[in-house]
Amino acid sequence: MPRRLPSLNAVRAFEAAARHESFTRAAEELCVTQGAVSHQVKALEAELGLKLFNRERQRLVITEAGRDYLNVVRDAFDRIAIGTERLLQRQNFGVLTVSTSPDFAAKWLVHRLGRFAEAYPSIELRVSATLHHVDFAREDIDLAVRHGEGRWPGLHVTRLCSEELFPVCSPRLATDARPLIEPADLLGFPLLHLDDRTVWATWLEAAGVNVAGATHGPVLNRASMVIDAAVDGQGVTLARTTLAAWDLLNGRLVRPFALALPLAKSYWIVCPKASASLPKIATFRDWLLAEAADDTQRIAALEP
* pLDDT tens, position by position, 236-263: 999 999 999 999 999 999 999 999 999 9
Decide: 5 and 48 in contact? Cβ < 8 Å: no
**Span 144-154, mean pLDDT?**
94
Using alpha carbons, select from 255, 270, 193 the residue that is nearest to residue 229: 193
158 burial (CB, 10 Å; 0-12 / 13-18 / 19+) is middle
pLDDT band at 1 (very low <50, low <70, confident <90, very high): low
Does 303 score more than 90 pLDDT? no
Task: Give the integer Cα–Cα distance in Å for 185 and 193.
Answer: 17
Task: Give the integer Cα–Cα distance in Å for 270 and 143.
Answer: 6
Instruction: Quote the pLDDT of residue 87.
Output: 64
In single-letter form, the type of residue at position 220 comes to L
CATH of domain 8-91: 1.10.10.10
Does 50 score more than 90 pLDDT? no
pLDDT digit string, tens, across residues 270-292: 999 989 999 899 999 999 999 99
Instruction: Quote the pLDDT of residue 90.
Output: 60
Instruction: Quote the pLDDT of residue 128.
Output: 94
Decide: 164 and 240 in contact? Cβ < 8 Å: yes
3-state secondary structure of 94: strand
**CATH 3.40.190.10 region(s) of the chain?**
93-162+265-300, 164-262
**Span 168-193, mean pLDDT?**
87
Instruction: Quote the pLDDT of residue 177.
Output: 65
Q: Across all residues in the chain, what is the average pLDDT?
A: 90
In percent, the amount of the chain with pLDDT more than 90 equals: 60
**CATH 1.10.10.10 region(s) of the chain?**
8-91
Decide: 29 and 67 in contact? Cβ < 8 Å: no
93-162+265-300: CATH superfamily: Periplasmic binding protein-like II (3.40.190.10)
Task: Give the integer Cα–Cα distance in Å for 44 and 99.
Answer: 50
CATH of domain 164-262: 3.40.190.10
Centroid of chain to Cα 154: 16
pTM value > 0.95: no
- The β-bridge partners of 96 are 125
**Span 218-246, mean pLDDT?**
95
Decide: 244 and 298 in contact? Cβ < 8 Å: no
Instruction: Quote the pLDDT of residue 180.
Output: 85
